[in-house]
Structure 1
C-alpha cells in the first residue's frame, strides 16, 4: 500500500495536479537556502520529483549551465513532468538509489522522506550521492494533532505520510543517518500561499501570529509547519 498508491493511479485521482501548485514556493525556499550559503551547483538531482515543478522553477532562477535530473517512481507524475523537460532538465522514472549515477553537487528530497517505509535506510543510501543535500519534511506531530488524531489519519490516507515528525525528531533522524545539518529553518506553505478550501481561519491566524513570535513553539503546539534543512558532505561525520 505504501508505494502502490503512487503507481496504480490512486494518488493521481486524489491529487490530479500532484501538488504542482506548491512547486514555485518550494523552489524559492531551496533557492534562498543555497544562496545563503553561496552554493553554486553544476548538477542538481531531485529524488521523488513528482510533477517536476520544483526543478523547472529552479532552472528559471539558477545558472543556465546547471544540469537538472528528477527521479520519480510514479508513472503518472512522470507523465505530468515530461512536458517540462528540455536539454538540461530531464526526468527519469525509477529509483535513484538503485541507479548508477555519479555523485551530484546538490540532491533535493522535498516532502519525500515521510512517504518511505524505511526512511532511515533511504537517508543512509542518499548520503554519499551528493556533496550537499536539501531536505524538506512536514512536521505533522504537534500538541494539536495529538488531541485531534483525525489530522494524522488524514496525513496517511490522503497524502501517504507513513512517519510523523517534530523539528527535533526530524533533525535527529538526519544526524543519526550521518548528516551534519549545516542550516535549517521552519517553513509554512499554508501561511505563505492562499489557504486551501475549508481551512479554519482562526487557526491560520493563530499560526501566523505564532510564527512571528516563536515558530518553534507554534510548530510544537499548533502544527502547520515544515522543516527545511541543508546538509553538506564536507562537514558530515565519518
Structure 2
C-alpha cells in the first residue's frame, strides 16, 4: 500500500516554511499595505469590516486596521507559528484567529489575500470561497511567469522550495483565473517590488535601473520579459 502523501498545507503548519522564512516576510508589510490603501482609496472603497486570509504575522492587517479605524479587522492564519507572532498586534478593532477563514461562517466588506493564492492547492476553489465571505476583494499576486525566470530555471525549483509558490502567474493568467472564478475586476496595477525593494542588496540596486528604464518605455513587455513585478487587484463578487 502506498503511503499517504503530505498535504501542501503541512508546509505551513509544521516548521518547514518557518525555517526558510523566519520573519514571514514581515518587513515588506508597509510596502504592501501602501499599495492596498492606494487601490482602495482610488476606487472610493471604505470598508467597515476587513479580513486578511493567510495574514502571516499580522503586520499588514495591523497597518490596515490603523488606516481604517472605523473597520473591524480580523486576520486568519493556519500556521501556529505565525499566529503566535500575530497575537501581540491585537487591538480594539483588530483580532486574530487560527483557522480557515472560509469555514469561520463570518462575512466581511473586504477580503484580502496578499501573496497567498500562489501557495494554495486549488486557486479556483480558493477564489470562489473568497466570494462567499465578502463583496470586495484585494489580491496581490506575484508575476513569477516571465521569460527571465523561466529561462534561468528559477520558477520551479527556487520559487517552490524557498518561497512555497506552487502556481506561477503572468498578468493575463492571473486576471483570467479571477474572472473565470466569478470575480469582476474593478482595478489593477503592477507593483514594482524588484525596484522598490532594491535597497536590500547591491545586485538588486544594479538590476533595478534597466528594469526602471525598460518599464517606462514598455511596461507590459518588460514585466513579461524580465519580471520583478507583482499585480495588485481590486475585484468584487
TM-score, with normalisation over the residues of structure 2? Answer: 0.93
User: Could you say which residue in structure 2 is the equivalent of 1:11?
Assistant: 17
Contact preservation (8 Å) 1:136, 1:229? yes
Gaps of 5+ in 1: 234-238
Paired positions, count: 231
User: Could you say which residue in structure 1 is the equivalent of 2:109?
Assistant: 105
User: Could you say which residue in structure 1 is the equivalent of 2:83?
Assistant: 78
Shift of 1:58: 1.3
1:35 and 2:22 equivalent? Answer: no
Correspondence list, 1:9-158, <5 A: 9-62=15-68, 64-101=69-106, 103-158=107-162
Contact preservation (8 Å) 1:56, 1:89? yes
Q: Which secondary structure does the structure 1 equivalent of 2:61 belong to?
A: helix
Gaps of 5+ in 2: 1-5
Contact preservation (8 Å) 2:50, 2:110? yes
Shift of 1:70: 0.5
Question: Structure 2: how far apart are the matches of 1:109 and 1:31?
Answer: 14
Distance 1:87 1:212, change over 3 A: same
Shift of 1:197: 3.6
Question: Structure 1: how far apart are the matches of 2:181 and 2:34?
Answer: 26
RMSD of aligned alpha carbons: 1.4
Q: Which secondary structure does the structure 2 equivalent of 1:128 belong to?
A: helix
Shift of 1:194: 4.0
1:165 and 2:169 equivalent? Answer: yes
Contact preservation (8 Å) 1:145, 1:152? no
User: Could you say which residue in structure 2 is the equivalent of 1:193?
Assistant: 197
Shift of 1:79: 1.0
User: Could you say which residue in structure 1 is the equivalent of 2:3?
Assistant: none
Question: Structure 2: how far apart are the matches of 1:46 and 1:116?
Answer: 15
Distance 1:193 1:96, change over 3 A: same
Shift of 1:200: 4.5
